[in-house]
Chains A and B, each alone.
Chain A
Amino acid sequence: MANKKLQQAVNEFNQVMKPVSLWADAWKRLRKNKMALISLFIVSIYILISLFAPILTSAGVLIDYRKQVITNASLPPSLKPAGELVVKKIEARIASLEQRVKEKAEEQSAFGSFFNFGATDQTQPESAAEATPSDQGDTSAFTFTYQGEGFSGNTTDPVVRELISQKETLEKVKAELDTNPDYKLVYILGTDDLGRDMFARIIYGGRISIAIGIVGTLTAALVGILIGAISGYVGGWLDNLLMRFVDIMYGLPYMLIVIIIMAMIGEKARGSFVVLFVAIALVSWLTISRVVRGQIISLKNSEFVEAARSMGASSWRIIFRHLLPNTLGVIIVFSTLMMPSFIMNESFLSFLGLGVSAPDASWGTLVSEGVRAMESYAWQLLGPGIAMTIFLFCMNFLGDGLRDALDPQSKNRT
């Protein structure tokens, strides 16, 4: 009993102290940082959803992200079933068309006595985007008036033709409202221009973006650790050579080189995101290798390394079992902060059309598709944009929190 107590650490009040490992200590500090904890929570949710997305789809919780329902194209985010939204959308379109026909009828009656009565109007620059719903109360009365003027027979007029076809569609949709399963779908984040569920697309886009982030970071970290450790431990001419190489690579405008690589690989290979992350990872290991090298140099002459060496440990063993575990904190912090920049770079390339190509889509692809439609369908841009921003935001906060927790000395540095 007494013997056991002797072996344990004891404080000035002779109380037994539990040994606190680096990780327990770091966790304690991280727990105090509310923002970092919330970020950790949100990041975990993103990763879990991404992992289980295929299961969610097959269970019917998520709509298949490839499923195109052309009747449900470009619906706004809503908790109502798609059918109602489609009806509302067609009604709004009909109302605006009727408004236009009415205006034209007035124009026609003003000029009709002077000019050719049956003149067809071919100038229809307005698009669906500018359709504004007007009051629908006077629809029947108005229809009556313009029929009364003998205008309805003029089916060469594109507005009238569209009005008629839209009304037919409306009838069809209303009839099918209860039978067609497509009208029962609920799109909480709306749909894109092909009628695909934005929510599912964002989740699947996130899967690709996050996967590239994780795999790329791991690759870059591995290369960086290996080169940094060898360079720091061996020293001498090898260190000189490797670090000059890193210096030169630093001087290169690497994003330009990635753009060139992506452009040169060609359309087919570009689609596979393996190529994409390799291209980014190839140039992202530089900082980590420098940091690891610095850590190793400062540690390699310490007593515990001497001890290991005197007991006959090989260089590899010293590097991997003694030195690297001591640099793990720095490596984790750097990797966490590297991941958002990876995701950002991947999306940057996808945005320019040099990244992931169809049918796959990353967040960058979704944003660039959203930009094209943003004037009329803002949610197609905002959905993926906000989803991506939240993730990056949390990763940045988590990285900062981890740095404060694992490396308290650098607390006030950014």
Chain B
Amino acid sequence: MARYFIRRALSLIPTLFIVITLSFFLIRLAPGGPFAREREVPEAILQNLMKRYHMDEPLFKQYLRYMGDIVRWDFGPSYRYRDLTVNEIIDRGLPVSMSLGVISLVLAAVGGVAVGIISALKQNKWQDYVAVSIAVIGISVPLFVMGPVLQLIFGMKLKILPIGQWISTHGLKAIILPALTLSFPYFAYIARLSRASILEVLRSDYIRTARAKGLKESVVVWKHVLKGALLPVVTYLGPAFSGIVVGSIVIESVFLVPGIGRPFVQSALNRDYTLIMAEVVVYSIILIIANLVVDLIYGLLDPRISYK
């Protein structure tokens, strides 16, 4: 197990390396730089700017320098936000984005499994139909439609929840709408997934055995069915978390959450080279680690899997 973990953790490095290299050259090879604006900058100033950001050096040298900086976790100054280093922007936004993401994932997983259990146990009754309809709606409504519509209903018409910003301005209430919106599609998918897999497990031989030896129904459901049925859900948590992380880019823009998603879009539009690169690195690390964690949980839950 420990060896497997170390091997997986090491396999992070090549993937990250590829992501960074690919993004670096994609960004640098595109026409137009961060200093290309409507207002023409005098040649001398441009020269000095290029020098300050080491952009007058050959591309490959810049690449090596950048790799060295990243290893030291130094992302350099932002090209557009002159007063801030990229590290400051990331440090400020990351806790916000992470808490939004984790809360949404927990909401999606707990809510989804709960609804899945109810609708599987009440198969073809009204509870089931309601759950299945909600699930299909959840999968079809795009985040950026769902978010504004919730803002419209709860924020502007009913005026019971703040429509934007974060804990510092509105307290814990501020989390409710963004987290609900962000988790909804994954909640829906997990509900569908767990319903289907519970139904499948309920028909399996070992459940019949458990019932045949006279176990109480509650024990059968909670100890035997769930343990087997939750495996597909756990596998899905990895992709779900990636989806939530990417979705949070939009949600942060809709709800004005001060995370790292909004600066990412802004930096992409502004060609803020250092900031884009830092965002890509941070997002990639989050996604890759999430997949690793899911793999490990999977191994803990399923005794048939052994790690070598």
C-alpha spacing A251/B140, complex, angstroms = 25
Q: Is B145 part of the contact surface with A, judged by Cβ < 8 Å? A: yes
Interface size on B, residues (CB 8 A): 52
Q: With A256-B280, A375-B156 known to touch, is A340 a contact of B149 (CB < 8 Å)?
A: no
Contacts of B141 on A, CB cut-off 8 Å? Answer: 389, 392
C-alpha spacing A262/B196, complex, angstroms = 38
C-alpha spacing A252/B20, complex, angstroms = 10
Inter-subunit contact B145/A389 (CB<8 Å): yes
C-alpha spacing A263/B269, complex, angstroms = 6
Count: A-B pairs, CB below 8 Å: 128
- Interface 9-mer from B27-35, B49-57, B67-75: B27-35
A408 to chain B, nearest CB (A): 15
C-alpha spacing A330/B291, complex, angstroms = 27
Q: With A381-B148, A412-B196 known to touch, is A253 a contact of B287 (CB < 8 Å)?
A: yes
A271 to chain B, nearest CB (A): 14
Q: With A347-B142, A393-B140, A412-B199 known to touch, is A252 a contact of B19 (CB < 8 Å)?
A: yes
Q: Interface 1/0s, chain A 377-395, versus B by CB < 8 A?
A: 0100110010011001100
**Nearest A-chain residue to B141, judged by Cβ:** A389
Inter-subunit contact B139/A396 (CB<8 Å): yes
- Which of A263, A393, A412 sits near B268, CB closer than 8 Å? A263
Inter-subunit contact B254/A371 (CB<8 Å): yes
B236 to chain A, nearest CB (A): 10
Inter-subunit contact B31/A396 (CB<8 Å): no
Inter-subunit contact A352/B149 (CB<8 Å): no
Q: Is A259 part of the contact surface with B, judged by Cβ < 8 Å? A: yes
- Interface 9-mer from A93-101, A225-233, A362-370: A362-370
Inter-subunit contact B148/A340 (CB<8 Å): no
Q: Is B15 part of the contact surface with A, judged by Cβ < 8 Å? A: yes
Extra 14 A-B pairs, beta carbons < 8 Å, given A251-B288, A389-B140: A256-B279, A257-B23, A260-B27, A263-B269, A347-B142, A352-B253, A353-B265, A367-B145, A385-B145, A388-B145, A389-B141, A412-B199, A412-B200, A414-B196
- Which of B32, B193, B200, B246 sits near A256, CB closer than 8 Å? B246
C-alpha spacing A260/B246, complex, angstroms = 13
Q: With A251-B288, A265-B30 known to touch, is A257 a contact of B142 (CB < 8 Å)?
A: no
Contacts of B189 on A, CB cut-off 8 Å? Answer: 414
Q: Is B242 part of the contact surface with A, judged by Cβ < 8 Å? A: yes
C-alpha spacing A381/B145, complex, angstroms = 8
